[in-house]
Amino acid sequence: MNLTKVLSFVFFLIAMALGYLLWKGVDDVVEEEKRIALLEAATIEKLEMLRDAQLAYQASNGKYASTWDSLKMFIEDGTIWMVQRTETTKLLDYGAEEITVQFDTLGSRGVMDSLFNERKFPDFNIDLMPVVPGSGGKQFEFFAAKVEKTGGYLVNVFEIRDPSPINPERRANSNEKALRVGSRTDASTEGNWK
C-alpha cells in the first residue's frame, strides 16, 4: 500500500469519527429537549389538578389550603355541592330590565369522584400528586394566605410552585421562572406556562 491510500483510509476513519460525534452531540441535545418537554407537560398537568383542588377547597372552606395534608384530606373526604343558577329577566315599563337570580342546591358529590375520577384520570394516585415529576421525590411548594389589597380589603391567594425545575432556562435567577400556578401577591389562579 502506498502512502496516499494509507492517509486516505486514516482521514476517512477520522471523518467518520467526527461525523458520529457531531451526530451524537445533536441527538443528545434533541433527546434532552424532548425529556424536558415531557416532564414539564406532566408537571403542568399536576399543577392544573392541584389548582382545581384548591379552587374546590376555597369554595367549600372560604380559604385556600396552605399544606398538602389539608388539601389531601379535602380531596379524600370533602364534598362539592352542585348548585343550579337560574336567571329570570323581566322587562319593566320604562325599558329597564329586572334580573332575578335563584340558586338551587341539587346535591353533593365527593371531591375525588367529581374532580379526579377514573374516567378523567385512570392512573390517579393521591399520594404522588404533590410530587414533582422527574424530581426524585421532591414536593411542590405550597403557599396560601390573605393579602391586603389597596382599599384595605383582604384577598385569599395561593401559589403552588416547582422547587427545582429541570429546564435550565427556568432555573435562572434562583428559579424565578419555575413552573407555578397562582400568585403570592394577586388573586390569580393562572399558571405561568401560558
pLDDT value at residue 1: 66
pLDDT-derived band at 126 (thresholds 50, 70, 90) equals confident
What DSSP string runs through the chain?
Answer: --HHHHHHHHHHHHHHHHHHHHHHHHHHHHHHHHHHHHHHHHHHHHHHHHHHHHHHHHHHHSS---SHHHHHHHHHH-EEEEEEEEEEEEE-TTS-EEEEEEEEEEEEEEHHHHHS-TTT-TT--GGGTTBPTTTTSPBPEEEEEEEEPTTS-EEEEEEEE-SS-SSHHHHHHHHTT--EEE-SSSS---BTT-
pLDDT value at residue 116: 83
Lowest mean per-residue pLDDT among 59-63, 159-163, 164-168:
164-168
Average pLDDT on 25-45 reads: 85
Phi-psi region at 134: left, alpha or beta (left = phi > 0; alpha = psi -120 to 50): left
pLDDT value at residue 36: 82
Lowest mean per-residue pLDDT among 48-57, 83-92, 110-119:
110-119
pLDDT at 41 over 70: yes
pLDDT value at residue 150: 79
Average pLDDT on 133-149 reads: 85
The number of residues in the chain equals 194
pLDDT at 110 over 80: yes
pLDDT-derived band at 124 (thresholds 50, 70, 90) equals confident
Give CA–CA dist 74/34, Å, rounded. 35
Whole-number average pLDDT of the chain? 84
Q: What angle do CA 19, 21, 26 make, to 5 degrees?
A: 95
Extents of the domains making up the chain: 3-182
Average pLDDT on 142-169 reads: 84
Higher per-residue confidence, 172 vs 185: 185
Say if CB 128 and CB 22 are below 8 A apart.
Answer: no
